[in-house]
Copies of this chain bind each other. A is one copy, B any other.
Amino acid sequence: MSFEFTLEAECGHARAGILETPHGPILTPVFAPVGTQATVKAVEPRELREMGATLILANTYHLHLRPGDTLIRDLGGLHGFMAWNGPILTDSGGFQVFSLAEMNRIGSDGVTFRDYLDGSLHHFTPETSVRIQHNLGSDIMMAFDECPIPTDRDVVEAALDRTHRWLVRCVEEHTRHGHPSRQALFGIVQGGIFMDLREASAHFVRGMDLPGYAIGGLAVGESKADMYSTLEQTTPLLPADKPRYLMGVGSPEDLVHGVARGVDLFDCVLPTRVARNGAALTRQGRINMRNQQYAADPSPLEPGCTCYTCTHFSRAYIRHLVKASEILAHQLLSLHNLHLLLTLMREMRAAILDGTFTDYAAAFLASYQTVGAHKGSNAIPVAGI
């Protein structure tokens, strides 16, 4: 059955499961590379498949503005348009409407904003967001929500109320005009860092009986301590038999912390964005490939890594490409960074199934943090896997 979620194993709060979708199963925990404009930047779909990506994310807001969701619908939906036959998740556009739009005016009906491309006026409502996602044809759709700075209680409370009313309208629109067996609509729990609001939100959103639940409003500026604390108090409020999605996370350490707190799905631009800034993710931390120390370094980005980049190219070569502003630098660093996060997720899943997740997470974080302490130093050691 579409969108059935099977919990295979738990280890502490960490979970391993399988989420069925019309475009194949997703083994969880899973990290979704982000393809904002219907392309994971600098990576070909066949390369995503090769590195074991299953779920990717695309952005409703950007694709609605360019090239337009009706065009994408007419060209086979996102799957056909971007030649990705695996599962796709689309966000609601809410986050971008609030954070990117030049001007926005929030009403109870929705949000009016100016197009960042040509300045024209647009109006997004819960119904608009759902209809656009119908056109995009994603496997997993997100409810239209407001995601405020999570630390101002009055703002968070007002946004939460709107988010709940908008959720009801999203569900109605999807039930009436969508195909819930082909596209799953996930609800989003908001409430900032305030646990009574998170509880109220989880209670409300659970009441809609949806195929999956997201935790929104984290990783948007609050402290790491606030994020981890809110997260570990929120996941237990969600049904155990449905997938849990932490939006916009993350870094290697946040993925481990998230899985440890019972999250099943993640997405983040970080691996491809830092690649375009010339940085490689490693199990010991992030390394800046512009640094002189790599100029004659014959070793791969991460010794032992099995990705195309690490099995063929040296740090010295990649540093040369970065310094020479070559496109191949973005390609090779993006391949490696995504491969690392996807490998990390597979390792965590295997450890959960083995019952060794706690040890795995502790070992990973100890090694990762050791280097975190040297940040800014040129002497970041990168040991073998």
Given B38, B296, B313, B316, which contacts A317 in the complex, CB threshold below 8 Å? B38
A100 within 8 Å of B (CB atoms): no
Smallest CB-CB A-B distances: 4 pairs: A42-B327, A83-B312, A67-B320, A39-B328
Residues of B within 8 A of A82 (CB): 317
Residues of B with C-beta under 8 A to A317: 38, 75, 81-83
Is the pair B67, A316 in contact by a Cβ cutoff of 8 Å?
A: yes
CA distance A308 to B49 in the complex (A): 14
Q: Is the CB of A39 within 8 A of B321?
A: yes
The verdict on A349 contacting chain B, using a C-beta distance below 8 Å, is no
Q: Are A71 and B314 in contact (CB under 8 A)?
A: no
> Are A42 and B331 neighbours in the complex by a CB distance under 8 Å?
yes
Confirm or deny: A261 has a beta carbon within 8 angstroms of a beta carbon on chain B.
no
Chain B residue nearest in CB terms to A66: B324
Contact with B along A159-178 (1 / 0, CB 8 A): 00000000000000000000
Q: Which residue of B lies closest to A320 (CB)?
A: B67
Q: Which residues of B contact A71 (CB under 8 A)?
A: 295-296, 316
A-side residues, CB < 8 A to B, are 37-39, 41-46, 66-67, 71, 74-75, 81-83, 295-296, 298, 308, 312-314, 316-317, 319-321, 323-324, 326-328, 330-332
**Min CB gap A383→B, angstroms:** 22
Give the chain B neighbours of A319 by CB distance below 8 A: 67
Q: How far is the CA of A295 from the CA of B357 in the complex (A)?
A: 49
Known A296-B75, A317-B81: A323·B67 in contact at CB below 8 Å: yes
A312-B45, A317-B38 known; A330-B328 Cβ under 8 A:
no
Please state the number of chain copies in the assembly.
2
**A227 → chain B closest CB, angstroms:** 31
Q: Identify A42's interface contact among B296, B298, B316, B328, CB under 8 A.
A: B328
A38 contacts which of B45, B75, B296, B320 (Cβ < 8 Å)? B320
Q: Choose among B37, B323, B324 the residue that contacts A324 (Cβ–Cβ < 8 A).
A: B37
Given A74-B296, A308-B46: A39 touches B326 (CB 8 Å cut-off): yes
Q: Closest CB-CB distance, A357 to chain B, in whole Å?
A: 35
Contact of A41 among B42, B66, B75, B327 (CB under 8 A): B327
User: How far does the Cβ of A65 sit from chain B's closest Cβ, in whole Å?
Assistant: 10
What's the minimum C-beta distance from A74 to chain B, rounded to whole angstroms? 7
Whether B320 contacts A66 by the Cβ 8 Å rule is yes
CB distance from A381 to the nearest CB of B (A): 21
Residue of B nearest to A332 (CB): B44
Docked CA distance A319–B298 (Å): 39
Q: Which residue of B lies closest to A74 (CB)?
A: B296
Give CA–CA (A43, B321) in the complex, Å.
Answer: 13
Give Cα distance in the complex from A172 to B298, angstroms: 33
- CB distance A67 to B308 under 8 Å? no
Cα A83 to Cα B318 with chains together (Å): 12
Tell me the minimal C-beta distance from A323 to chain B in angstroms: 7
Collect the chain B residues with CB atoms within 8 Å of residue A298's CB.
75
B contact residues around A331 at 8 Å (CB): 42, 44, 327, 331
15 additional A-B residue pairs with CB within 8 Å, beyond A38-B317, A43-B328, A71-B296: A39-B321, A39-B326, A42-B327, A44-B328, A44-B332, A66-B324, A67-B295, A67-B320, A75-B296, A81-B314, A81-B316, A81-B317, A82-B317, A83-B313, A331-B331
Contact between A308 and B39, CB atoms less than 8 A apart: no
Closest residue of chain B to A334 (Cβ to Cβ) is B327
